[in-house]
């Protein structure tokens, strides 16, 4: 059995960033599941841009996709209202972005492109982690430190700390060939099909529609909302070329977060660190990874990690104050009707 100093489960922005920041003298194993892409609008919000700037990282141009859009079209499918609001996001290829972060971790960690099958505490201390090895046999390795960076449905969190104690949704996203028309980014609200939000975005030759739905009946709700949006836009989406799905969390109270204990740590969405209003999680993934990397060098790493993420956790919880104005139908209708902070858009004519 091989032994490592740290095993990281999950090769997204959180896991890749942690592997890159850990001291080079540590022997690090990073398990990255490449089986599927995660539903994501692929927009880098200002907080994520700031986190990258703190690492002195610049974004390679090959990660950017067309178009770069300067406004979000907010649509309420029940009241049939819409407004445009200025936003400063970067439109990127999410899969390429993740691979870019992972490439910078490759010189600091051993990377296995496999799906973790099980994690457990080892008698006497440390952890045992199993994953498919050569020839399809199950390989087991050990380490005194284990980090779960494996998203909302974290195997590490479920195995060691139980299920997430927060609101859970199923995110579903489909890709369609881009039809003629002006490309746009939209945030969609439709309480008839979901209490959460949906999104659409254009990327090069594709139009993407996705949203978060209650787990029970999520696919039927997604299809119903997709039809309602197509009718509102008077747009034929055509046949999807790709469908993606995963679990997503919306933290609402301190207990929504789980940072770990006993030598096992959680970062990014595995820890519940995601915005409850916009579902943006890349900035929290990067920030929590940096916080844990610095905390592991302290004499009491868990206490240090809790202190380092305290402001982040309270900032995420504070975003719940914004939620009623987004998700309460009456308040949202009043905000849209007021036009406060919205911009006027002149439709282009052919």
Which helix (H) or strand (E) segment holds residue 46: the answer is helix 46-54
Structure confidence at residue 36 (pLDDT) = 64
pLDDT above 70 coverage of the chain, percent? 97
Q: Does domain 2-36+94-165+251-321 have CATH number 3.10.20.90?
A: no
Average pLDDT in the 91-116 region? Answer: 94
Structure confidence at residue 347 (pLDDT) = 67
pLDDT above 90 coverage of the chain, percent? 86
User: Comparing C-alpha atoms, which of 206, 186, 208 is closest to residue 197?
Assistant: 186
DSSP code of residue 239:
-
Whole-model pTM: value is: 0.94
User: Comparing C-alpha atoms, which of 310, 245, 246 is closest to residue 273?
Assistant: 310
Structure confidence at residue 106 (pLDDT) = 87
Mean residue pLDDT across the chain: 94
Q: Which residues contact 277 (CB under 8 A, 6 or more apart)?
A: 319, 320, 322, 323, 326
Average pLDDT in the 77-89 region? Answer: 94
Which helix (H) or strand (E) segment holds residue 225: the answer is helix 218-233
Structure confidence at residue 63 (pLDDT) = 97
How far, in Å, are 27, 121, 163, 197 from residue 111 at the CA level?
11, 22, 27, 35
Q: Which residues contact 260 (CB under 8 A, 6 or more apart)?
A: 147, 148, 160, 161, 266, 271, 302, 305
pLDDT band at 174 (very low <50, low <70, confident <90, very high): very high
pLDDT band at 69 (very low <50, low <70, confident <90, very high): confident
Average pLDDT in the 314-328 region? Answer: 95
Structure confidence at residue 349 (pLDDT) = 56
pLDDT band at 229 (very low <50, low <70, confident <90, very high): very high
The full DSSP string for 269-317 is GGGT-S-TTT---HHHHHHHHHHHHHHTTSSSHHHHHHHHHHHHHHHHH
pLDDT band at 346 (very low <50, low <70, confident <90, very high): confident
Query: Phi and psi for 128 in degrees, rounded to 5?
Result: -115, 130
User: Is the per-residue pLDDT at 305 higher than 70?
Assistant: yes
Superfamily name and number for 63-92+168-250+323-338: D-Amino Acid Oxidase, subunit A, domain 2 (3.30.9.10)
User: Is the per-residue pLDDT at 47 higher than 60?
Assistant: yes
Q: Residue ranges per domain, the chain? A: 2-36+94-165+251-321, 63-92+168-250+323-338
Q: Which residues contact 312 (CB under 8 A, 6 or more apart)?
A: 273, 284, 287, 288, 291
Which is higher by pLDDT, 246 or 350? Answer: 246
Average pLDDT in the 281-307 region? Answer: 97
């Amino acid at each position: 059995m091989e032994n490592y100093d740290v095993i990281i489960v999950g090769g997204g922005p959180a896991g890749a960033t942690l592997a890159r920041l850990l001291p080079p003298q540590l022997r690090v194993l990073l398990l990255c599941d490449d089986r599927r892409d995660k539903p994501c609008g692929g927009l880098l919000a200002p907080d994520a841009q700031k986190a990258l700037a703190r690492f002195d990282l610049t974004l390679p141009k090959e990660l950017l996709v067309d178009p770069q859009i300067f406004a979000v079209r907010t649509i309420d499918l029940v009241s049939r209202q819409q407004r445009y609001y200025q936003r400063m996001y970067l439109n990127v290829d999410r899969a390429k972005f993740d691979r870019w972060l992972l490439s910078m971790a490759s010189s600091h960690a051993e990377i296995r492109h496999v799906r973790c099958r099980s994690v457990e505490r080892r008698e006497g201390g440390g952890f045992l982690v199993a994953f498919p090895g050569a020839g399809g046999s199950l390989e087991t390795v050990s380490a005194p430190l284990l980090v779960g960076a494996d998203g909302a449905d974290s195997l590490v969190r479920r195995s060691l700390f139980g299920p997430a104690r927060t609101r859970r949704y199923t995110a579903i996203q489909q890709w369609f060939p881009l039809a003629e028309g002006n490309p746009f980014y939209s945030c969609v609200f439709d309480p008839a099909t979901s209490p959460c939000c949906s999104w659409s975005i254009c990327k090069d030759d594709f139009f993407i529609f996705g949203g978060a739905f209650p787990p029970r009946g999520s696919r039927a709700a997604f299809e119903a909302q997709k039809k309602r949006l197509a009718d509102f836009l008077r747009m034929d989406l055509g046949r999807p070329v790709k469908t993606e799905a995963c679990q997503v969390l919306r933290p609402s109270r301190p207990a929504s977060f789980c940072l770990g204990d006993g030598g096992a740590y959680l970062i990014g969405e595995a820890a519940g660190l995601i915005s409850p209003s916009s579902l943006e999680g890349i900035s929290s993934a990067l920030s929590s990874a940096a916080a844990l990397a610095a905390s592991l060098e302290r004499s009491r790493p868990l206490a240090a990690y809790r202190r380092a993420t305290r402001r982040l956790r309270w900032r995420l919880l504070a975003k719940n104050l914004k939620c009623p104005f987004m998700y309460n139908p009456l308040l949202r209708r009043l905000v849209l009707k007021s036009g406060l902070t919205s911009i006027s858009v002149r439709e282009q004519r052919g």
